[in-house]
A and B are shown apart, each in its own frame.
Chain A
């Protein structure tokens, strides 16, 4: 499932393909759904008004690029959509869904010493779609068109997965898998748009929703690498589901946080606490929505997040999925 979902094109603002596939996959397991005016897919699995209601949330979008102009020689100037480190971009394959290209830069051996020492800027880069000049390029591309990374889903090493858009297609996949089971709680599943550009979808999707708890299923930074100070590490690959205490956008509700830890321990599900207060996700929008909702994030740790080669451990994904299902079952 992860392979199919990570290979879909879904840059923030262009989540149609992801939404359509999710809808097809969840229809047999839900009682109703709506697509709001922002494009969020909101699925309901109701069991009764007297039961507790839990929100599960993941975002459908991924980071990418938007074309801002076309040069005389047919190269596409672009800006990033969402947070991307420019240093990962050079020579990467990208696509608009129909048109393929490669991110280019002035050849290194033609750069002056001063240029070689400069920090790479988005202004130095362009997308080469193989057009001979501007006239040819505009037949295929216009300013405002979106491009995303092209990167195969690959399993490697012992239990490792490399893919693009693991953030947050794996959250979508966890919720889809969770929906296949039955529970004694009402579920509201938010598949949000535009998380990467400021939690915009979640601000709209949570509007009008009332819930006892909200769990945001996410992909988070794992900087368990050589050279990172131990007190700067966020999560570690292979150590299980990462339960957030705090990030830049929210502090986890203590009651819900404790319940998740208790569920993980009771069911012997490997888990870790997300340690540094970095990043932010849709929990930031959800926990202040509709008068406040008790919210906590549960994440799969990922190395090289927001790059075409994000890396996770499959076992961590399984831990997150099992924890979400066990938590929902604990209400029966």
Chain B
């Protein structure tokens, strides 16, 4: 299923296909689903107890075609992305055209207006280009350009499929435009009250976080402190069920602030799976992530 998911491109605001895929993979395991007016996909399992929300983003980075001249396709992009992350990358458009992004400018000074792709075919203004995934798999790991945006979705779908007889109130929130300052989350939580949220994401390997060593249970990210209650619950689950984990303080922004401070406020935890510099994620870590989510839902 992960290879299919990776092949479904979902640049921010163009998430329809991935939502269709999520629904098709989960509808027989859930009580109900709907799309809110922002476009977030909300799946509910009905049961007992206070409703828990499990959340992950469904979008991925993109460039937007904006000008074509002399066989050069130029791009624009929102300020949330970095131009250097696209240089020398292969991108694929909404209609399947593959291009390689190049630039004559050095990385330090690079802006989106410096990026272009050589092509004879002009793309309509406004069409979106995402990373060409180039999925690979070996015995121990998966790898793809966009894998870090798909594994959380894969983990939640897998968890839902194993929760058929779970008698708890759970909502799975697949949020749109999460990479764009968490707009989908801000919309959803603008009217949600007293929520308890577990956010699922990926984290880059560093000197404290190593791939293949289990899930990462976060105490803090750049912009927010996570809920101590949820963090302790996650640690308790990991220890009771012998799931390897790494407690961590993260220096990057995972948009938890959008959940914690929107609407009437909410408590939020963060559970991650590590990836390395080559966008590789260990299968063993993904299995542990799924097991953690399932156990958290059942508690």
Contact = CB atoms under 8 A, between A and B. Distances in A.
Whether A and B are associated in the same complex: the answer reads yes
B64 A288 contact: no
A138 to B, nearest CB: 40
A256 to B, nearest CB: 12
B183 A291 contact: no
A254 B67 CA distance: 20
A231 interface: yes
A245 B190 contact: no
Interface residues of B, number: 31
Contacts of A275: 66-67, 76, 125
Contact of A290 (B69, B76, B177, B191): B191
Interface string A239-281: 0000001101011001000000000000000000101110000
B113 A292 contact: no
A288 B36 contact: no
A245 B64 contact: yes
A178 interface: no
Interface residues of A, number: 23
B177 A251 contact: yes
The listed residue with most A CB atoms (<10 A of its CB), out of B74, B75, B77, is B74
A291 B113 contact: no
B79 interface: yes
A59 interface: no
B138 interface: no
B13 A277 contact: no
A230 interface: yes
B129 interface: no
Contacts of B180: 251
Nearest to B35: A292
A287 B13 contact: no
A230 B78 contact: no
B125 A292 contact: no
Contacts of A231: 66-67, 69, 74-76, 113, 116
B183 A287 contact: yes
Interface of B: 12-13, 36-40, 64, 66-67, 69, 74-79, 112-113, 116, 125-126, 177, 180, 183-184, 186-188, 190-191
